[in-house]
Structure 1
Amino acid sequence: MKIEIWSDYVCPFCYIGEHRLAKALDDFPNKDNVKIEFKCYELDPNAKHMPDGDYYSMLANKLGITSEQAKQSSENLAEQAAELGLDYRFDKMKPTNTFDAHRLAKYAEKIGKGKEMVEALFYAYFTEGKLISDHDELTELAETVGMEKEDAVSVLACNEKGRRVREDEEQAREIGVQGVPFFVFNEKYAVSGAQPPEVFKQVLEKVEEEEQAKPHLQTLTPDGSETTYCTDEGCEIKRDQS
C-alpha cells in the first residue's frame, strides 16, 4: 500500500495528522507493507525567511483576530498535540519560509532519510523553536539524521535542487489539493485534514481489502459473436452462447 502525504513544516495540523496516521498504523496488521511518501506543499510561498514577529501576532494578523484569541486557539491545538505526545511551544515558534526545508527533505528522501528528516523538521519548528529557513540550522538538522554536512550545504546552495519540490506542488494542484495535511491512498482514496486515528484505520482497512480481493473478469464479447480460439487440442470457431 502506498500513502502520499502533502504537508508543510509550519502547519500545526500536519504534524498532528502525520502522528494520527502513525497511531492508526500501529494497530494495522500489514503495516510493514505500507510505503509512505512525503510530498511538498507551501502554505505561504511568499513568506519571509526572517520572521516579522512571533507566532501569535502572525496568526492574529492572518485571521483578523486579537492576540489573546490567537493564544487561546493555539492552546487548544497544543492540547490536541499533547494527546499524541507532541510538545507544541507556540511561544518559541518562528514563522518562516519553508522552501529550503522542503528542498532538503526531498534530498533526504533520495538517500533513504526522508522520514527522519521530516520528523526532525517538524520537531525543530514546533518544539525547539528553530528557524527552519536558516541554512546553518538546516545543516545541523541534516547531520542529526545521518546526512553528510557537505551534502546538505551543497543542496541548500543550489537553487536547481528545488525542482522536485515544484513537481510535488504541481501535482497537488492537478489533483485539487486546497489545504494540508492531505493524504492519498494508492492514488485512489483521499483524506483531507488531521482526521482521528479511527478514520485512518477505516481507510487502511478498505484499501487493504481491495488489494487482497481477487480480480473478477467480465466478458465483453458481444452476444451472438463467433469465438475463435486455440487450446492444446487444436483450434476452432464457436458461436458465443451468452
Structure 2
Amino acid sequence: MVAGQRNTADGVNVDVSMKIEIWSDVACPWCFIGKRRFESALENFEHKDGVEVQWRSYQLDPSLPEQYDGSETEYLSQMKGMPEAQVRQMFDHVKTQAAGEGLAYDFDKVVVANSFTAHRFMHLAKEHGKMDAAKEALLSGHFEHGENIGDIDYLVRTGVVLGLDEAEVRGALEGDKYAAEVRADIAEARALGVTGVPFFVLDRKYGISGAQPAEVFAQALRQAWGERSPLTVLSGTNDDGATCGPEGCN
C-alpha cells in the first residue's frame, strides 16, 4: 500500500491507503468515458477519502505531426485502413456510449494533433495540484469543443482558467520542460505491458484495461482495498471495456 497523507480540497489531511494510476491519452475517446465511469464508482466507494488518483501519460500515436491536416474521420480511415463510412459508424457507437455518461462528443470538430505537449502541460498542472482539472479540461476541449490540444496558446489559456501563472505555463511549454516525465510514464506503461488505454492500476495489485462499466470498477476497488498481490489484469465481460491502441480504437 501507499503510505502517507494528502490534502483534500478543503485542506484537511487524510490518510492515503490506496493509490490508483490511470494511463490515458488526451486523444483517446474511451479515456474520457472511462474517466466518468471510474469517477462514478469511486464516488460511491466507502473508502474514497483514502484513495489517491494519479494520471499517467500515454500516446496512441507519437508519430503524429503537431497538427494533422485532415479530419478525425480521414485520419482513422488512413491509419486503420477502413472505409470512412465504417469509421463514422464506429464514431456513432462511441458517441452513444459517451452520451450515456453525460458527454457530448463532436467528432466533426475534433482537431487531430500530437498530444505530447498536452501531456507536458498535465505534468505542470500536477505540480500545482491541478492535474485532474487539467485532464478534464483537455478531454472536454478535444472531444466536445474542437480545441487543438497541440496548440500552446490553447494550453496557456486553459492553464490560466485553472489558476496557473500564464508566464510559467508558456515558458514550460515553449521549452521542453516535463518531457522526461512524459517519456518516463510511457516507458513505465510499456514495462507493465500496457498496450491500450485507458488502463487503471490499483495499488500496483490489479490492472483494469478499458472503459469498463462502473460496476466493474466498483468491484475492483473493493477487491484491491487492503489486499496485496502481484499485478493481475482483470478481464471484464462487457463490450464497453473498449480501449485505444497504436492501431486505433476498438
Q: TM-score range by the shorter chain?
A: 0.7 to 0.9
Could you tell me which amino acid in structure 2 is paired with residue 138 of structure 1?
Answer: L
Matched, 1:10 2:40: no
Could you say which residue in structure 1 is the equivalent of 2:130? 113
Q: Take 2:164 and 2:146, find their aligned partners in 1: how far apart are those partners?
A: 22
Q: Which residue of the other structure, out of 27, 38, 59, is the alignment partner of 2:44?
A: 27
User: Structure 1 residue 209: deviation in Å?
Assistant: 4.8
Q: Which residue of the other structure, out of 172, 179, 187, is the alignment partner of 1:162?
A: 179
Could you tell me which amino acid in structure 1 is paired with residue 218 of structure 2?
Answer: K
Could you tell me which amino acid in structure 1 is paired with residue 61 of structure 2?
Answer: D
Q: Which residue of the other structure, out of 98, 104, 113, is the alignment partner of 2:115?
A: 98
Instruction: Please list the CA deviations of residues 181-230 of structure 1 after superposition, one character each: whole Å capped at 9, or x if unmatched.
Output: 1100001110011111111011001112538xxxxxxxxxxxxxxxxxxx
Q: Take 1:89 and 1:59, find their aligned partners in 2: how far apart are those partners?
A: 15
Instruction: Please list the CA deviations of residues 107-152 of structure 1 after superposition, one character each: whole Å capped at 9, or x if unmatched.
Output: 1011111111011110110001011101101111111111111111
Q: Which residue of the other structure, out of 168, 179, 187, is the alignment partner of 2:196?
A: 179
User: Structure 1 residue 161: deviation in Å?
Assistant: 2.6
Larger Rg: 1
Could you tell me which amino acid in structure 1 is paired with residue 49 of structure 2?
Answer: D
User: Structure 1 residue 180: deviation in Å?
Assistant: 0.7
Could you say which residue in structure 1 is the equivalent of 2:7? none
With normalisation by structure 1, the TM-score equals: 0.85
User: Between Structure 1 and Structure 2, which shows a larger proportion of helix residues?
Assistant: 1
With normalisation by structure 2, the TM-score equals: 0.82
Matched-pair contact (CA < 8 Å) for 2:120–2:177: no
Could you tell me which amino acid in structure 2 is paired with residue 5 of structure 1?
Answer: I
Could you say which residue in structure 2 is the equivalent of 1:234? none
Q: Take 2:127 and 2:178, find their aligned partners in 1: how far apart are those partners?
A: 12
Could you say which residue in structure 2 is the equivalent of 1:222? none
Could you tell me which amino acid in structure 1 is paired with residue 178 of structure 2?
Answer: K
Matched, 1:43 2:60: yes
Q: Take 1:64 and 1:158, find their aligned partners in 2: how far apart are those partners?
A: 36
User: Structure 1 residue 6: deviation in Å?
Assistant: 0.3
Could you say which residue in structure 2 is the equivalent of 1:127? 144
Matched, 1:70 2:87: yes
Q: Which residue of the other structure, out of 135, 140, 145, is the alignment partner of 2:162?
A: 145
Mark the runs of 5 or more structure 1 residues left unpaired by the alignment.
212-242
Could you say which residue in structure 1 is the equivalent of 2:244? none
User: Structure 1 residue 160: deviation in Å?
Assistant: 3.9
Could you tell me which amino acid in structure 1 is paired with residue 164 of structure 2?
Answer: M
Q: Secondary structure at the match of 2:23?
A: strand
The percent of aligned pairs where both chains have the same amino acid is: 40
Tell me the matched-pair count. Answer: 211
Q: Take 1:131 and 1:207, find their aligned partners in 2: how far apart are those partners?
A: 37
Mark the runs of 5 or more structure 2 residues left unpaired by the alignment.
1-17, 229-250
Q: Secondary structure at the match of 1:37?
A: strand
Q: Secondary structure at the match of 2:150?
A: coil
Q: Take 2:219 and 2:226, find their aligned partners in 1: how far apart are those partners?
A: 11
Could you tell me which amino acid in structure 2 is paired with residue 130 of structure 1?
Answer: E
Structure 1 stretches of 4+ moved >3 Å: none
Q: Which residue of the other structure, out of 201, 205, 208, is the alignment partner of 1:188?
A: 205
Could you say which residue in structure 2 is the equivalent of 1:224? none
Matched-pair contact (CA < 8 Å) for 2:57–2:186: yes
Q: Take 1:49 and 1:75, find their aligned partners in 2: how far apart are those partners?
A: 26
Matched-pair contact (CA < 8 Å) for 2:34–2:210: yes
